[in-house]
Amino acid sequence: MKDFADKIAVITGAGSGMGRDLAVRLSEQGAHLALCDLNEQELQRTVELCDNRVRTSMFVCDVSDEQALEKFRDATIEAHQQDTINLLFNNAGIGTTESFLTGSRSSWEKTFDVCWNGVYLTSRVFIPLVVAADEGHVINTSSINGFWASLGPSRTHTAYSAAKFAVKGFTEALINEFRLHAPHVGVSLVMPGHIGTGIAANSRVIVEGELSPEASELAAAFRNGAPTTSLQAADVILEGVREGRWRILIGEDAHILDAMVRADPEQAYEESFVTQLHEAGVLDVLVR
């Protein structure tokens, strides 16, 4: 898909971060948008930032709720007067470091439900509309934690990592699935490194209902210490879609970490590996 003009793009998690910047960039390139997020105020702000020459619809939606997603689909069809879409960005996600063994089960499962079931259920609901179009592309956001299940030796990261590994496997399996049953549809797997977004703060609010001063400070450090902005990430993703690439790493840190894990996978969870990450200047805000 070389041109996004007059295409219809569905973007989950469009109220902030990469989802918002994907929406803005696509609107600038003439794509019509159907956006969803849990935060209605921030979602409305995204709509206001988009180019008003394109058609933009919004829907407040929890991507882990299949019935809500079906309502989002129906609202999209009604708003755009078309029962096909061209682009599906499974972008919504949250992240916690809740321990599988000692932490809250509800927090763990909420993270997994949004990050994996959100991709799976949104795909179930919207991919038939992509397949029904003349051309289409599905873009699923995994993470560097989809190939390296760690934030370093001092923190757990099982829910988010398990979900992102699932997204990676699902997306890679779709490559052949589409070749067999829908050869006009492409697929891309997005694996961002450390991107300057509000995911850390948003996740705490969604999972715990509030943001403590300590969590707020950590979230600010995460956002402000990132080597790649969400706008830069959006540009890399869209370039990858235009080039038809199924594997899209975002950020130099993602490329370095990917190469290091591939070079010596047996050592990837040892302290010596983390030392090498620090020496390479990779993920210093995250890995401790």
pLDDT confidence of residue 167: 98
- Residue 95, pLDDT score: 84
CA–chain centroid gap for 24, Å, is: 16
Order of strands, sheet of 247-250, starting from the edge strand that comes earlier in the sequence: 56-60, 32-37, 8-12, 87-90, 136-141, 185-192, 247-250
pTM value is 0.94
**CA-closest candidate to residue 236, choices 246, 249, 226, 223:** 249
User: What is residue 111's predicted lDDT score, i.e. its pLDDT?
Assistant: 95
Cα gap 20→27, rounded to integer Å: 11
- 40: number of Cβ within 10 Å: 12
Judge whether 164 and 114 are in contact, CB under 8 Å: no
DSSP at 116 = I
Q: Which two tokens stand for residue 128?
A: 């038939």
Lookup result for tokens 């047996």: 266
Ordered mean pLDDT values, 10 residues apiece, the chain (288 residues): 96 97 98 98 98 97 98 98 98 90 94 97 98 98 97 92 98 98 98 83 57 62 80 98 98 97 97 94 79
pLDDT in the model for residue 225: 76
CA distance 229 to 212: 25
Positions annotated as catalytic residues are: 160
Q: Where are the domains of the chain?
A: 8-253
Calpha distance 236→245 (Å, rounded): 11
C-beta of residue 102 within 8 angstroms of C-beta of residue 158 = no
Fold of 8-253: Rossmann fold (3.40.50)
In this structure, what are the phi and psi dihedrals at residue 50, rounded to the nearest 5 degrees? -75, 155
CB half-sphere exposure, 65, CA atoms < 13 A: 10
Q: So what's the pLDDT on residue 249?
A: 98
Nearest alpha-carbon partner for 129 in 57, 189, 182, 190: 182
Question: What is residue 38's three-state secondary structure?
Answer: coil
Q: How many angstroms separate the CA atoms of 23 and 137, rounded?
A: 15
The crossing angle, in degrees rounded to 10, of helices 158-181 and 118-131 is 20
Choose among 200, 186, 197: nearest CA to 241.
Answer: 186
